[in-house]
Structure 1
Amino acid sequence: MIISQEIAQTIVNHLMSIIKRNVNIMDCDGIIIASGEKARIHTFHQGGKFAVSQQTVIEISPNETMNFAGALPGVMWPIELKGKIVGVVGVTGEPQEVRSTARLVKTVTELILERDMLLSDYSSENRLKEQLISLLFSVDLETVQEDIQTLAEMLNFKLEIPRIVILVDIETPSPKGFVGLQNLMFDRVRESVIRAIKNSHIFSQDDLVLFYKRYFCILRTVSEKQNAKFFLKNLVDLFHSLPLQIRVGVGGDAQNQWQLRQSYLEAIFSIEYKCLHIIRNIKQHQIMLDFVMSPDNKNYSSCLALLELSNKVANLQPKYDIYNTLSCLLTNNLNISATSSELFIHRNTLKFRLEKLEQFTGLSPCHSFADSVLCKLILEIQAHS
């Protein structure tokens, strides 16, 4: 890490306001890049050069200054980050008087630089994540596929893993009349939230989390071993422990990178859905129906949640003749007697089939208007497949 003159001077000013002594920061060549004595900036300090080359603390007493070009009495400590010397910090004064102070100054300097480096790395990584997500959520993935591959490799993001898009909206306190303070508070909350999610036991190394546009965006891996309800419950508990008021929007399962945009659109619709529930999931039948029937949705069969539901119904077809059963039930306006008569089966047999339908899909067309419409749409999907 190369210490910038700007951050070095900021550190010097901060430390001098506390210890009331002059502080110098030098680069690895012994050039003073920041000082409380402005005239010394950009001058050579031989003591700083020795501290780097000998990798040790250098103390210069008043009667030794003539042996060190550009030096005044004081103590100089090498600045170390990740096991490497990146510069030198010195405190002016009699060595026996400033020895402990200089050591403290070294420690504080390293902590500030380490934090600055982490923030820089975080900012850089977050920009890469934003670029990747923007491309994955774009309309035409074909034209940006090379860029997606490059960014995914840089972030170690596995494109082939099935994922689900989860959006989280939070409410932060709003100090009246202090817009700038509110923005600072939100920035701190945002960093804390992302850190808390990443450090949580519910977050895996293949998941991705960032603040995207106006929501916290989580690309959660989907597998049989990972229970979505368990994850969402723990996610809500995590936010409540911070504590924050939240809304959660959940999209459908994207089996590959090509479906992530659709999952994102479903998550957007869900989180903006007008209801009192904290978690709004596109797999909830009323939300799903309103999504596929919305004016902006030109192709209902592209809804991932509806396709998943359709596949579950398809699995029941060989054993329960479910397509014919539903078609006849809807034609007869959900009348059990008329349907069983037309199918030449007993009423109990029809009820048994409908119980299996509800057990494996959650659909109950005789008891929910939304479910009956979804069954109609599923039959249309099956007819065109």
Structure 2
Amino acid sequence: MITKQLAEEIVEQTMIRLNRNLNVMDTNGMILASGETERIEKIHEAAAQVAKSGETLWIKETDLAAWHGVKPGVNLPIYFQEKLVGVIGITGNPEELKEISTLVQLTTEMMVHQSLITSHIEWNRKRNELIFDELTSGNPLSAAVHERISQMRLDQNTSFITLLIEIKKSPSLSRRIIEQLESHFDGQTIVTGHSQLNEIFLLMKNDEPANLQQKLTTLLQILQQTALVRMGVGVTVSSILDTRTSYLAAKNALDFGKPDQSLVYFEDVELIALLKHNPHVELENFTNRILVDLNDSLCQTLVMYFICNKNSAETADCLKVHRHTLSYRLKKIYDATGLDPTNFQDAVVLHLALTLRD
């Protein structure tokens, strides 16, 4: 059905170009919008007849006695997806309107199509956001969401994964990003929408790891052409009812991944995420106890040593120091902390302390 708001827009936009009075009626013949405002919300009998027959009706001066609330002109049916949704009337001499009536009808149907399609897409996305909100809330699902999930007819063997896209700039492009997501993962998308103002979610059917990585890398390249984004990838779950687990993992990926890291998998930050959920005071006590006697130079040496996977030659090259200097610094670290960076177990403790400090 044509809404009053859409009818007003049709009248306003069309009359500017046509320089004639226009009426837009609903399927009962009631005038929703008109250039003659006094006629709004009155019944147009000719429009009611057009809505009933589905055929164009011309009204001449000599026909006025047979109709109530009409003027000379033409009334044309408006269709959307082969269904009559309203009637448009042009006031004037029928002979003068024959050349423009079809054009007005087509233009109106195009405006209706664009508006209703857009409204349908927006309604679907809003529904998707409500479904995702329930799936990730941790509360029992409503009957409506259960019904919607059953309508999806998901394969019992299907697994799912959640992506979160954080828009760091240009949040106004979020609609375009959602469209790109839906297009990029065509056939895999379950629901997509906004989980927060600057955050977009995508719940999708999982793929082979190599395929997924390829698609995510390509997608990131596409998105970063128009917006500055980061992407968090959750864990795979075997049931859509476990979406919350995948969502929280994707959230942790964004929260604990490095700020300059564009694509973060939960597996990359899982250990840090688990530790970071401990009380802040306890974490601070741990890092202070381990690193308290290390200056910035020694901490930077340790960071580079771990980046180079404890390869002394490579670390020395990166730091632009002699290998003997590096050995001296590593010994100072051992003397200050009682932990030997060259020892695996001690290195784990030092690495965690540095990571948690950041």
Separation in 1, partners of 2:238, 2:119: 34
Paired with 2:228 and 2:125, the residues of 1 have a C-alpha distance of 24
Equivalent position of 2:104 in the other structure: 105
Do 1:27 and 1:33's aligned partners in 2 also have CA atoms closer than 8 Å? yes
Q: Report the equivalent of 2:200.
A: 216
Q: Which residue of 2 aligns with 1:344?
A: none
Give the deviation of 1:217 after TM superposition: 0.4
Q: Contact 2:125/2:192 (CA < 8 Å) preserved in 1?
A: no
Query: How many aligned positions are there?
Result: 289
Which amino acid in the other structure matches residue 186 of structure 2? F
Distance 1:62 1:367, change over 3 A: farther
Deviations 1:83-104 (A, max 9, x none): 1212210111122323333323
Q: Distance in 2 between matches of 1:290 and 1:225?
A: 23
SS in 2 for 1:277: coil
Q: Does 1:132 align with 2:131?
A: yes
Partner of 1:255 in structure 2? 238
**Counterpart contact for 2:126–2:193, Cα < 8 Å:** no
Length-normalised TM-score, structure 2:
0.70
Alpha-carbon separation, structure 1, partners of 2:5 and 2:247: 41
Q: State the match for 1:282 in structure 2.
A: 266
2:147 to 120, 139, 150: 150
Contact kept in structure 1, 2:192 and 2:203, CA below 8 Å:
yes
Deviation string for 1:345-381 (max 9, x for gaps)? xxxxxxxxxxxxxxxxxxxx9699569999xxxxxxx
CA contact under 8 A between 1:78 and 1:89: conserved in structure 2? yes
Is contact 2:182–2:189 with CA below 8 Å preserved after alignment?
A: no
2:219 is aligned, of 230, 235, 239, to: 235
Residue 9 of structure 2 corresponds to: 10
3-state SS of paired residue (1:25):
strand
1:96 matched to 2:78: no
User: Counterparts in 2 of 1:1-385, with a 5 A limit?
Assistant: 2-140=1-139, 143-144=140-141, 146=143, 148-154=145-151, 161-173=158-170, 186=172, 189-200=173-184, 202-214=185-197, 215-224=199-208, 227-241=211-225, 243-272=226-255, 273-284=257-268, 287-296=269-278
Mapped contact 1:157–1:206 kept (Cα < 8 A): no
Paired AA for residue 128 in structure 2: K
User: What amino acid does structure 2 have at the position aligned with 1:292?
Assistant: L
TM-score normalized by the length of structure 1: 0.65
Does the 8 A contact of 2:189 with 2:202 survive in 1? no
* Cα distance change, pair 146–35 in 1 and its aligned pair in 2 (3 A): closer
Once the two structures are aligned, what percentage of the paired residues are identical?
22
| Cα gap change, 1:239 to 1:206, in 2 (>3 Å) | closer
The 1-side partners of 2:76 and 2:65 are apart by 20
- Cα drift, residue 167 of structure 1: 0.5
How much has 1:279 moved relative to structure 2? 0.5
**Counterpart position of 1:323:** none
C-alpha contact (below 8 Å) 2:73/2:89 kept by paired residues: yes
Shift of 1:251: 1.4
Correspondence for 2:306:
none
DSSP-derived class of the 2:167 partner: strand
1: CA distance, partners of 2:53 / 2:142: 51
Contiguous gaps of at least 5 residues in structure 1: 174-184, 299-333, 335-364, 375-385
SS state at 1:102 partner: helix
5+ long unaligned stretches in structure 2: 281-309, 311-342, 353-358
Instruction: Measure, in 2, the Cα distance between the counterparts of 1:116 and 1:157.
Output: 31
Structure 1 residue 78, shift from structure 2 partner:
0.5
Q: Measured at CA, do residues 148 and 88 of structure 1 come closer, stay the same or move farther in structure 2, by a change above 3 Å?
A: closer
Does the 8 Å contact 1:152/1:159 carry over to 2? no
CA RMSD of aligned residues (A): 3.3
In 2, the alpha carbon distance for the partners of 1:277 and 1:225 equals: 19
CA distance in 1, matches of 2:168, 2:16: 37
* Alpha-carbon separation, structure 2, partners of 1:366 and 1:116: 64
